[in-house]
Structure 1
């Protein structure tokens, strides 16, 4: 049965209706979601260019290329063409990850360049309106619409709908890890419906964490063709030699299945991974992380401009908060603390004061009640926190003065959490890689649970950001930070 939303659920592994039932149902929601995105982009673009043309366009121009109707039509055609060419509607990127918004941004940038060159060639006087008003407006509307569609899709996935059926093939330990990750992060869209192992046995005879073991690794292609799985996830196992992986890829040709091989060498993703053919051998090339250069310079400009704009917007709120802090308890409105920044350089961080005066000196008395993970000191009900301070912490309002740190260059809008000097001194070589970039006002840790995260998971997220940083990832983190702050999850 179909339920509300984009599409209804498809059958589970135990509810198959026959050959290809799973594949057909998975294709249904994927096609519907793709059509919904295409329609959303088309309507959003038409509304923006039509509205701007009506309000600002030149209707009585003598030359055809000055008329607003023709310019509006050409702009929409150019934008939609750029979206199609950049594969912004590819099912593999829709609904997950930063790559969807990266492709969307690349397409709109391409459309802007082509539009500008066309305006120069035609000596159009009105082309500036479409370059500096229409395209940015299209970007704002289409990205917002896609984000809302993504939220809707993620809600359905958490309810067990709109998931791609996966056949996992590898050792029981690595497959078990994959099963746990798909259950922990259902919004990514995978559901392991069946497992193949070397001997066809799981940890519980014919099951592995509740997922049926349907056969051996040599039988993978047969099961895919018979039962219609959408993804074949190949995990680590000595069985998988280069020849056997190649043979499996050949045997899957003509099916709807996407073959995905998990490289267990390192946790690197995003723009640093490239597949190259060298001497006829496919090699996974990992480029060096970017700590300097043009993109970092752009990030610095964005940080400075973003901090300046946010300070202007939040100035009334910050003045009000400062007065409330002063009226609630004795002490100053701000709290200054030494933190460790990029390359181990110390700086003074600014916060609104959330604790009673002399709170730092009382930390030793509370050491035995520490609830923080790893090297962090945290208490869910810290007796030193004031009434106003508890509200400020819940919604991260106490962090707003750090915009001054961003403005002066000691911090970034997005980055790892800035550690205390004593925390930094206890870092091992791996964790010290967090200090290769500027600390951030927000980061992957904040949108993933903040203080509720285990220490190891918080470190993993910070290192992932350091390794895989991109402007698109920064934009996604900033966007998701608003929702995390409003929910107050993991803030204490």
Structure 2
């Protein structure tokens, strides 16, 4: 890259940093901070943007933590298997060594395997299940390799030692990765540790992606520029997002210029027609040799990964979307899990349930349980059970309190509802009033996980998309419960419930149950 090109790139970068340091109102007064003059021709490979220091530092932390976990696992296995007897040795063919040395060798080979299999790749760490899956797969393969090695070379290592070392190591690796993910998530919510993204395609698609990244700040991506290759114009424009400065560039910028302004280390292509015939292939060629990731967005939102499959037909890639899995939510496995879980829960919580029942009865007049008509799967009504948390006959006062409604859409909610009793306020804070719904699960009216059970008046106001919430059994908890509870807007509640209906899986149910425990403990959005 010649000196003129370097100076031009530096000028573009300084202009962008100046704009990002301004408030939204100041931004529009300083458009000249990004130069609109001609660019000096360079190739993308000459840019080689330095990836965020967080990626290098994060990978280094994982390497150190992995090494510590594996050494501790192998050493602990030796202590648990042989106690403090350091004289135990193992024969490997004609060689004899101690279990201490063997543990160090196993830990080193295991650590190398984790590196080779890409468990610390910046494209998978911090989100999704791929990182955990690779760690587990690598551990199983390492164990298998050692088993084969022991057979081939007549290695008489203790099976008990290995049976302790590998499970302990795997658990330690998963726990340590989870801890680092939590740290990384906190960093990202503070605006740090993000990959910078240049979106190539239409403005509308770019806005949807940018808003999605902002809403899911812990995902690790932030849109810093949009390039529409066939968009006519001589000056830079801005994406219509009040909370972020994102320049929109057109024909006045080349790919290299757009990458320089956005300081991007990742390119996401949304609408390939803007690139023209063979445009995506040409774009990939331009990025060859550059430290820039290239991704293609299919413009399919709220569809979980298991439903997406890439197929190659006649040298052309196609994304195959599996049918929604809401039919699978009625399968025997889910029904059996629901009933077993509900029965176990009710039996284990029986003393607490009795204590709550006595407290409700002593606190105010009226029945212990509150029966509320709800609309279930297929529009069939049922009576949902809860511990009574309001004064008897509270439903008759809803119309009088309608002016104080703080709920979203057809939902009725009040933070300081005068009908709530003293005991009821405590029960609601920790969701203890919901416990009798496990009886509904045993009856088959509800599921442990599912969309929020709606009232008849709410269903009467449903739009066509919202009607799809009734395709599966309603749940005691769901995505709405672990994503904000009563603090969500109506639109967000519907979107989350539809996401669950369309992308149900048994593993997802287990994840939601675990997240529910955490959400209830925080008591956020409960009133």
Correspondence list, 1:436-455, <5 A = 436-455=471-490
1:138-287 matched pairs, under 5 angstroms: 138=169, 140-197=171-228, 198-199=230-231, 205=237, 209=241, 210-216=245-251, 219-224=254-259, 228-236=263-271, 239-241=274-276, 243-265=278-300, 267-287=302-322
8 Å CA contact 2:389–2:420 kept in 1: the answer is yes
Write the distance in 2 (CA, Å) between the matches of 1:426 and 1:168. Answer: 38
| 1:40-439 aligned within 5 A | 40-56=65-81, 87-104=118-135, 127=159, 138=169, 140-197=171-228, 198-199=230-231, 205=237, 209=241, 210-216=245-251, 219-224=254-259, 228-236=263-271, 239-241=274-276, 243-265=278-300, 267-291=302-326, 299=334, 302-304=337-339, 306-307=341-342, 310-311=345-346, 314-406=349-441, 409-424=444-459, 426-439=461-474
Matched with 2:56 is: 31
Instruction: Report the CA distance between 1:299 and its aligned residue.
Output: 4.8
Q: Which 5+ residue runs of structure 1 have no aligned equivalent?
A: 1-9
Does the 8 Å CA contact 2:225/2:258 hold for their aligned counterparts?
A: no
User: Quick one: distance in 1 between partners of 2:495 and 2:483?
Assistant: 12
TM-superposed deviation, 1:181: 3.0
Q: Give 1:435 deviation, angstroms.
A: 3.1
Gaps of 5+ in 2: 1-12, 21-43, 93-97
Deviations 1:424-460 (A, max 9, x none): 4554443233233333332221222122212122111
| Counterparts in 2 of 1:205 and 1:483: CA distance versus 1, 3 Å | same
State the 1:382 CA deviation: 1.8
Q: Please report how far the alpha carbon of residue 489 of structure 1 lies from its aligned counterpart in structure 2 after TM superposition.
A: 2.2
1:225–1:255: 8 Å Cα contact kept in structure 2?
Answer: no
- 1:245-269 residue CA offsets vs partner (Å, 9 max, x unmatched): 2221222222222223322255323
Cα shift readout 1:260-286 (whole Å, capped 9, x = no counterpart): 332225532311111111111111111
- Whole-angstrom CA distance in 1 between matches of 2:358 and 2:157: 52
**CA distance in 2 between partners of 1:167 and 1:454 (Å):** 30
Name whichever of 306-315 and 368-377 sits farther off.
306-315
- Cα RMSD between the aligned structures? 4.3
Asked whether the 8 Å contact 1:399–1:441 carries over to 2, the reply is: yes
User: How many angstroms does 1:14 deviate by?
Assistant: 0.8
The 1:286/1:81 distance shift into structure 2, 3 A limit, reads: farther
The question of whether the paired residues in 1 share the 8 Å contact of 2:272 and 2:280 is answered with no
Residues 1:101 and 1:402: Cα distance change in structure 2 (over 3 Å): farther
Q: Distance in 2 between matches of 1:455 and 1:237?
A: 34
Q: Which residue of the other structure, out of 480, 488, 491, is the alignment partner of 2:523? A: 488
Residue of structure 2 equivalent to 1:3? none
Q: Measured at CA, do residues 107 and 403 of structure 1 come closer, stay the same or move farther in structure 2, by a change above 3 Å?
A: farther
Query: Normalising by structure 2, what TM-score?
Result: 0.75
* C-alpha distance after superposition, 1:77-123 (max 9, x if no partner): 79767756764433222112344445555556767888999999999
In structure 1, what is the Cα distance between the partners aligned to 2:105 and 2:459?
56
1:377–1:469: structure 2 CA closer, same or farther, 3 Å change rule? same
Which structure is larger by alpha-carbon Rg, 1 or 2? Answer: 2
Q: Report the Cα offset of residue 411 of structure 1.
A: 3.7
- C-alpha change, 1:335 and 1:276, in structure 2 (3 Å) is same
Deviation at 1:311, TM superposition (A): 4.4
Query: Are 1:354 and 1:386, in contact at CA under 8 Å, matched by a contact in 2?
Result: yes
Matches of 1:206 and 1:406 in 2, distance apart? 51
CA distance in 2, matches of 1:364, 1:395: 27
Q: Distance in 2 between matches of 1:52 and 1:275?
A: 43
Task: Please say which of residues 142-151 and 443-452 is displaced more in the overlay.
Answer: 142-151
Distance of 2:409 and 2:280 partners within structure 1: 40
